[in-house]
Amino acid sequence: MRIFTAGQNDEARRVDAFLSRLMPSAPKSLIYKYIRTGKIKVNGKKPKPETRLSMGDEIKYFGDDALLKTEHSGAPQKAGEITVLYEDEHIALLYKPRGIACQPDEKRKADTLVDRFKWYLYEKGAFIPSEEHGFTPALCNRLDYNTRGIVIGAKTLSGLRSMNEKIRTGCVRKLYLCRCIGVPNPREGMISAALVKDEKANKSRIADRGKAAKTKYKTLSVSGGESLVEAELFSGRSHQIRVHLASIGCPLVGDKKYGAEGSGQDLCAYKVQFDFSDADVLSGVAGKTFVLPENLR
């Protein structure tokens, strides 16, 4: 017999989902058989597959030990260094440099920002895969490959759920610095133009029947035919700032995909403002504004 204790990242997790992570090589039919035949007990009682766990619940396992994940199961792949701008028990603010992806994709399968985040936490002992039963550190927002700036990382499931809800309800303001060709006219305003994305070409465009998108912008300075513009997103569409500013005749410097010359857009997510107070696990960032240091912009 083995005994496991549900941790904070197992709160509200179904028993069958917990067991799927505990026994990664076991077929679902065997997992349900173990539950049905009493080889799994939660707090001394036989659970149902849909029983929800609470932190501190005792799970007794009477099955085959060979099916259990090993101590090093799920250990993250080694990755490069990461700059952490802020960190508490649940949330971290990360700096994503230009030229790395936030998440693995078909082109970039290793050393992404989320890989670096998991490796950073693993090395310092804040993420121990063998003690987790379904959660791995994750990112709450993303930036394009050639966009640099602040990305919000979640260290716990409760942090991820809470931050995603705050983002969904508009309680997290994200502001960007953009170096543009030309000068917006008017110099500040709101661009409301729906977008659709061509997934194959990885390119978005304005379309009447696309997904609604709004970008607020303000020109901060003008020099040599270029302008420094602050942009704020009121939706999170793919390439939104790049497409919207290009649509008013001011593509981002270096953004070849949307009308400029170069090899990558001059775009930086430089400020995040957390406009909420009823924070719970997000008390560390509630009501605060974080600005990227000038040397990283």
Query: Which residue type occupies 71?
Result: E
Q: Going by C-beta distance under 8 Å and a sequence separation of 6 or more, which residues neighbour residue 235?
A: 211, 212, 213, 214
Q: Which burial class, exposed, middle or buried, applies to 263 when counting CB atoms under 10 A from its CB (0-12, 13-18, 19+)?
A: exposed
pLDDT of 168 over the 70 cut: yes
pLDDT of 185 over the 60 cut: yes
279 vs 65 pLDDT, higher one: 65
Has domain 83-170 been given CATH number 3.30.2350.10? yes
C-alpha 58/C-alpha 63 separation (Å) is 15
pLDDT of 73 over the 80 cut: no
pLDDT of 71 over the 60 cut: no
232 vs 106 pLDDT, higher one: 232
Confidence of residue 38 (pLDDT cuts 50, 70, 90): very high
**Architecture of the domain spanning 173-270:** 2-Layer Sandwich (3.30)
What number is the average pLDDT over the span 244-258?
Answer: 94
* Range in 135-139, 193-197, 252-256 with the lowest mean pLDDT: 135-139
Q: What are the tens digits of pLDDT across the range 216-242?
A: 999 999 999 999 999 999 988 999 999
**Pairing of β 195-198 and β 91-96:** unpaired
What number is the average pLDDT over the span 111-121?
Answer: 94
Q: Going by C-beta distance under 8 Å and a sequence separation of 6 or more, which residues neighbour residue 103?
A: 112, 113, 114, 139, 142
Confidence of residue 4 (pLDDT cuts 50, 70, 90): confident
Read off the pTM: 0.80
Say whether 155 sits in a helix, a strand or coil.
coil
156-194 per-residue burial string, b: 16 or more CB within 10 A, e: under 16: bbbbbebbbebeeeebbebbbbbbbbeebeeeeeebebb
C-alpha 60/C-alpha 2 separation (Å) is 6
C-alpha 107/C-alpha 246 separation (Å) is 26
Question: Which regions of the chain carry the CATH code 3.30.2350.10?
Answer: 83-170, 173-270
pLDDT of 141 over the 90 cut: yes
pLDDT of 124 over the 70 cut: yes
* Range in 62-76, 188-202, 205-219 with the lowest mean pLDDT: 62-76
Where would I find the H helices in the chain?
15-22, 28-36, 113-123, 157-168, 240-247
What number is the average pLDDT over the span 203-214?
Answer: 92
Output the six-digit token pair for 187. Answer: 């110099």
Q: What is the pLDDT of residue 240?
A: 95
Which class does domain 2-67 fall in? alpha beta
Query: What is the DSSP-derived secondary structure letter of residue 295?
Result: G
Say whether 182 sits in a helix, a strand or coil.
coil
Q: What are the tens digits of pLDDT across the range 125-138?
A: 888 776 776 678 99
Confidence of residue 119 (pLDDT cuts 50, 70, 90): very high
Query: Which residue type occupies 14?
Result: R
